[in-house]
Chains A and B, each alone.
Chain A
Amino acid sequence: MVNTSPFLSAEGVSREFRLGESVVRAVDGVSLSVEAGEFIALLGSSGSGKSTLLNLLAGLDLPTSGAIRVAGKDLAALSSPELARYRRETAAMVFQSFNLLPRMTLEENVELPLRLAEVDRGERGKRVSESLERVGLAARRQHRPSELSGGEQQRGAIARALVNRPSILFADEPTGNLDSKNGENILQLLVDIQKSLGMTIVMVTHERPLAERFANRFVFLSDGKLAGGGAAQ
């Protein structure tokens, strides 16, 4: 099947929040398209609406107006269970604060999406090992998040994101809590994944130099609106 439309597209997407009497428009008429296998960075200062946009693209939140299409599906038209399925099977997410569940071992954290997707038990062990090996943490699978360094935790979170074989990865300031060396390692890992798996990656960051070094393309957001962009490298 030949599909000429982009893998992900946002058309005039707005997201409003009501704060008492006033209405805050966090994302204001953003239109954007991302091709399959592309690594795109959303840049902007804090409060520019880039994280809100990412949440909308990742199906964690719904736009007030506008349409978001991923792999031919309009997210706004999906029911709550369908949206959960989108987050489970198509999209995956990595956070600034890693968000590994502290009560579980690394292995169990990585297994969690497979439980939610009702993958067979026999299949799970294989996929967890595969995913942990890809991020170089196979030896630490029995450790709890508190026993891992920040960089290791973020790699663990990436392993969890990859385990259910999504087609698009959303990363919200993945290097925000890491020193520059660990941050670079994480970004290098994302690029490797993009290249070896053909993964589409959308990353939010406020560090322009890093975005320019690792992403294919970057766009700026300011006050919820697109404010230019460019190709990296």
Chain B
Amino acid sequence: MKARDLTELALRNLREALLRNSLTTLGVAVGVASLVGMVSLGVGLQELASQRLMRSGLFDAVFVTSPRGFGGPGGGPARASQIKDAKILDEDARQQLAKIPNVIEVYPQIRFAAQVKFGNNSTNTSVLGLPASSRSSGALEGMKGQFFSSAEAKEALLQADFAKELAAPASPDSLIGKELTLRYAERISAPSGDSAAMLGALMGGLAGGISVAPREQTFRIVGIIESDPSAGIGGFGGGRVFVPLATAEGLHTAQPSDLQALMSNEPSKPTYLALTVRARSPKDVAAIEADIKKMGYLAFSLLDAAKGLRTVFTVFDLLLGLFGSLALTVASLGIINTLVMAILERRREIGVLKALGATDADVKRLFFAEAAAMGLAGGLFGLAGGWLIGRALTLGTTIYLKSQDLPSIKISSIPWWLALGAILFAVLVSLAAGLYPASRAAKLNPVEALRYE
């Protein structure tokens, strides 16, 4: 029998037992809807999470620490053998790292405690040096005012909450364009000498090897940002005042790494606790990380964490899909039941078809076509239902987020592969459900089938 005739006959048979076949199809639709709804939720949440994380601008960065250091982010306890041939993160290392292909910037973490004076207000807070590449990281979304005019400008960005505190009772926006004064400790290098003596001197009162002097510097407030662009990196973040990195370096503030430098053979040469290497794009990160490790440093990137996150979401998807599949399994039992009942009811019809010259394959295909048609219809309706479930979830979330003064998000997403996969899956499950009934119908003896009343 030709495919068109087969389809016509199958649809006609389905139309005849309309109620029962509709209910069976509805069962498939409910199964597919729950499957699509659940998986779309998983996909949506995954998209949401990775989108938010990508926006943070941390996925194109590799954090480098020396195994000799105090153990920077991701460093962990270093083994003795590593320590032996490990290199110190100094200026040479910084130059070397910058030469790795696809590296656009290498910068240290410059962070220092300072007293902020603004008008009559005076508070202590931490100041962070912000590299030029932060501007393009997307982390500054929602910034009021502007980014630094140049890499060495005496300009500052304020964290929103801090700005609110500083400006109170006036609006924080009024701070933009005004000046504030930072009071900080400057490190003054001493000529090289016996390091043990210097350490003693340091402990004794910061004299000898390193001396520290208070300094004051005026900065113009150019902008206010919602979140810390470097938040989330181990040991980083928490800054409330941001100045250009080069400016911060030029201040020669006392850094924790000074202690490390003090214990090395050349205390006068500045070393870094950690360096951040920014890659051209997140896809270059893995290669850069490998190169850095080859150079003998510890490297860590958030891409490692993102990979773990993806695993979590994949398992999450799988579990959600599993629950959805359960519903579909129940639905496929419905298909089996409907088709087996149809065989009992249509024994005589099968006998007549065979007497008229239908082959076993014709009968089998007819039942398969009916199962597939129910699967396809169920899949389509189910997809629509799943989409509605996703919309309802998004709508509910949006209403809730609005009540919490948060921007709305899309928590459910149906990519094309899910839509296509759901329909295909519904048809395949239906065909599998039709397997037994169809082969039973095909094997029916025509003489016995015709005798059946």
* Interface residues in chain A, defined as those with a beta carbon under 8 Å from any beta carbon in chain B: 55, 58, 60-61, 80-81, 84-89, 93, 95, 99, 101, 103-104, 112-113, 115-118, 160, 164
Question: Which residue of chain A is the closest to B8 with respect to CB atoms?
Answer: A115
Instruction: Tell me whether B359 and A103 are in contact (CB under 8 A).
Output: no
Give the contacting residue for A103; candidates B16, B351, B355, B361; CB below 8 A: B16
Among A58, A85, A99, chain B packs the most CB atoms within 10 A around the CB of A99
Instruction: Tell me whether B357 and A61 are in contact (CB under 8 A).
Output: no
B9 interfacial by beta-carbon distance below 8 Å: yes
The distance from the CB of A165 to the nearest CB of chain B, in whole angstroms, is: 13
Please give, as numbers and ranges, the residues of chain A lying within 8 Å of B1 by CB-CB distance. 115-116, 118
A117–B359 CA distance with the chains assembled, in angstroms: 10
Instruction: Tell me whether B13 and A103 are in contact (CB under 8 A).
Output: yes
Give the contacting residue for B357; candidates A87, A95, A101, A104; CB below 8 A: A87
Among B355, B361, B362, chain A packs the most CB atoms within 10 A around the CB of B355
Give the contacting residue for B2; candidates A80, A86, A95, A118; CB below 8 A: A118
Q: Can you spell out 6 A-B residue pairs with CB atoms less than 8 angstroms apart? A: A55-B447, A61-B445, A93-B356, A99-B352, A101-B352, A160-B356
B98 interfacial by beta-carbon distance below 8 Å: no
B402 interfacial by beta-carbon distance below 8 Å: no
A81–B362 CA distance with the chains assembled, in angstroms: 10
A117–B356 CA distance with the chains assembled, in angstroms: 9
B197 interfacial by beta-carbon distance below 8 Å: no
Question: Which residue of chain A is the closest to B361 with respect to CB atoms?
Answer: A81
Please give, as numbers and ranges, the residues of chain A lying within 8 Å of B360 by CB-CB distance. 80-81, 84
Q: A101-B352, A115-B5 are in contact. Are A60 and B446 (CB under 8 A)?
A: yes
A58–B450 CA distance with the chains assembled, in angstroms: 14
Those 3 A-B pairs whose CB atoms lie nearest each other, nearest first: A88-B357, A84-B359, A87-B357
The distance from the CB of A116 to the nearest CB of chain B, in whole angstroms, is: 5
Instruction: Tell me whether B352 and A61 are in contact (CB under 8 A).
Output: no
The distance from the CB of B341 to the nearest CB of chain A, in whole angstroms, is: 16
A104–B9 CA distance with the chains assembled, in angstroms: 10
Instruction: Tell me whether B447 and A117 are in contact (CB under 8 A).
Output: no
Please give, as numbers and ranges, the residues of chain B lying within 8 Å of A93 by CB-CB distance. 355-356
Q: A55-B447, A99-B348, A115-B5 are in contact. Are A88 and B356 (CB under 8 A)?
A: yes
Among A86, A87, A89, A116, chain B packs the most CB atoms within 10 A around the CB of A116
Give the contacting residue for B358; candidates A84, A86, A95, A160; CB below 8 A: A84
Instruction: Tell me whether A80 and B348 are in contact (CB under 8 A).
Output: no
B12 interfacial by beta-carbon distance below 8 Å: yes
Q: A95-B450, A118-B2 are in contact. Are A104 and B12 (CB under 8 A)?
A: yes
A164–B351 CA distance with the chains assembled, in angstroms: 18
Which residues of B404-427 are within 8 A (CB) of A? Answer: none
Give the contacting residue for A116; candidates B16, B362, B445; CB below 8 A: B362
A86–B450 CA distance with the chains assembled, in angstroms: 18
B354 interfacial by beta-carbon distance below 8 Å: yes
Among B352, B358, B445, B450, chain A packs the most CB atoms within 10 A around the CB of B352
Instruction: Tell me whether A116 and B357 are in contact (CB under 8 A).
Output: yes
B353 interfacial by beta-carbon distance below 8 Å: yes
Which residues of B47-75 are within 8 A (CB) of A? Answer: none
The distance from the CB of A22 to the nearest CB of chain B, in whole angstroms, is: 19
Instruction: Tell me whether B447 and A61 are in contact (CB under 8 A).
Output: yes
A116–B446 CA distance with the chains assembled, in angstroms: 16
Please give, as numbers and ranges, the residues of chain A lying within 8 Å of B362 by CB-CB distance. 84, 116
A84–B361 CA distance with the chains assembled, in angstroms: 10
Please give, as numbers and ranges, the residues of chain B lying within 8 Å of A117 by CB-CB distance. 357
B349 interfacial by beta-carbon distance below 8 Å: yes
Instruction: Tell me whether A60 and B352 are in contact (CB under 8 A).
Output: no
Instruction: Tell me whether B357 and A89 are in contact (CB under 8 A).
Output: yes
Instruction: Tell me whether A60 and B354 are in contact (CB under 8 A).
Output: yes
Instruction: Tell me whether A60 and B357 are in contact (CB under 8 A).
Output: no
Q: A115-B9, A116-B362 are in contact. Are A84 and B357 (CB under 8 A)?
A: yes
Question: Which residue of chain B is the closest to A111 with respect to CB atoms?
Answer: B5
A84–B447 CA distance with the chains assembled, in angstroms: 13
Instruction: Tell me whether A60 and B355 are in contact (CB under 8 A).
Output: yes
Question: Which residue of chain B is the closest to A121 with respect to CB atoms?
Answer: B4
Please give, as numbers and ranges, the residues of chain A lying within 8 Å of B9 by CB-CB distance. 115
The distance from the CB of A90 to the nearest CB of chain B, in whole angstroms, is: 9
Instruction: Tell me whether A60 and B447 are in contact (CB under 8 A).
Output: yes
Apart from the given pairs A84-B359, A84-B362, A118-B1, 13 other A-B contacts in the complex at a CB distance below 8 Å: A60-B355, A61-B445, A81-B361, A84-B357, A85-B359, A86-B357, A93-B356, A103-B13, A103-B16, A112-B356, A115-B5, A117-B357, A160-B356
Question: Which residue of chain A is the closest to B5 with respect to CB atoms?
Answer: A115
A84–B446 CA distance with the chains assembled, in angstroms: 11
The distance from the CB of B68 to the nearest CB of chain A, in whole angstroms, is: 81
Please give, as numbers and ranges, the residues of chain B lying within 8 Å of A55 by CB-CB distance. 447
A164–B447 CA distance with the chains assembled, in angstroms: 21
Please give, as numbers and ranges, the residues of chain B lying within 8 Å of A89 by CB-CB distance. 357
Instruction: Tell me whether B354 and A87 are in contact (CB under 8 A).
Output: yes
A88–B357 CA distance with the chains assembled, in angstroms: 4
The distance from the CB of A62 to the nearest CB of chain B, in whole angstroms, is: 10
Instruction: Tell me whether B354 and A84 are in contact (CB under 8 A).
Output: yes
- One digit per residue, 1 when the CB lies within 8 angstroms of any chain A CB and 0 when it does not, for chain B 154-193 equals 0000000000000000000000000000000000000000
The distance from the CB of A76 to the nearest CB of chain B, in whole angstroms, is: 16
Which residues of B12-36 are within 8 A (CB) of A? Answer: 12-13, 16
